[in-house]
């Protein structure tokens, strides 16, 4: 509604008629920038703190919709609840990355073990590049 008014009337006139500073008016008119339109329609009839929108802006559009639905179902639109939902999403993402990296490390460890179990490769490493052999053994001790 504020954006509509700003399209028809200058910001100075609107500011003086509402008794709000121009900076506050600009801030309020831009509060929904970066918020998915479906989220805006879901929350249009609710009282939402500005800080909650700031947290929603940190999420991708699909996650914003998901979080908005959760907030509506719990009737909780607080900044702390939105922050909890953001952190929960980040934690899931970190767990997924950790799992993928752990799998890669297990595969790498298995491959290095297989290489070092091969007598020809082990002999070649001892003879030509003993420093590589030492590094490979060091990695095996470090991995898991």
| C-alpha to C-alpha distance for 144 and 142, rounded to whole angstroms | 6
Residues 57 and 86 in one domain: yes
Residues 81 and 12 in one domain: no
Residue-range definition of the domain harbouring residue 6:
1-30
Residues 23 and 52 in one domain: no
Residues 106 and 47 in one domain: yes
Residues 7 and 35 in one domain: no
Residues 95 and 134 in one domain: yes
Long-range Cβ pairs for the range 64-67 (8 Å, 24+): 64/35, 64/36, 64/39, 65/36, 65/38, 65/39
Average pLDDT, the chain: 90
Q: What is the pLDDT of residues 79-119, one digit of tens each?
A: 999 999 999 988 988 999 999 999 999 999 999 999 999 99
Residues 20 and 40 in one domain: no
Q: What is the pLDDT of residues 49-70, one digit of tens each?
A: 999 999 999 999 999 999 999 9
Q: What is the pLDDT of residues 11-27, one digit of tens each?
A: 888 888 888 888 888 88
Read off the tokens for 38.
Answer: 């479906």
Q: Model pTM?
A: 0.62
How many structural domains are present in the chain? Answer: 2
């Amino acid at each position: 509604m504020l954006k509509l008014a700003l399209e028809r009337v200058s910001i100075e006139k609107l500011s003086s008629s509402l008794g709000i500073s121009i900076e506050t008016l600009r801030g309020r008119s831009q509060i929904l920038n970066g918020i998915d339109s479906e989220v805006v329609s879901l929350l249009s009839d609710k009282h939402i703190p500005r800080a909650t929108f700031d947290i929603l802006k940190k999420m991708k559009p699909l996650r914003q919709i998901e979080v908005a639905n959760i907030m509506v179902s719990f009737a909780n639109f607080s900044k702390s609840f939105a922050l909890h939902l953001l952190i929960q999403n980040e934690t899931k993402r970190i767990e997924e990355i950790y799992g993928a990296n752990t799998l890669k490390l297990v595969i790498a460890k298995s491959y290095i073990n297989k290489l070092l179990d091969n007598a020809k490769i082990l002999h070649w490493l001892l003879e030509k590049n003993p420093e590589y052999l030492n590094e490979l053994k060091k990695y095996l001790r470090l991995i898991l």
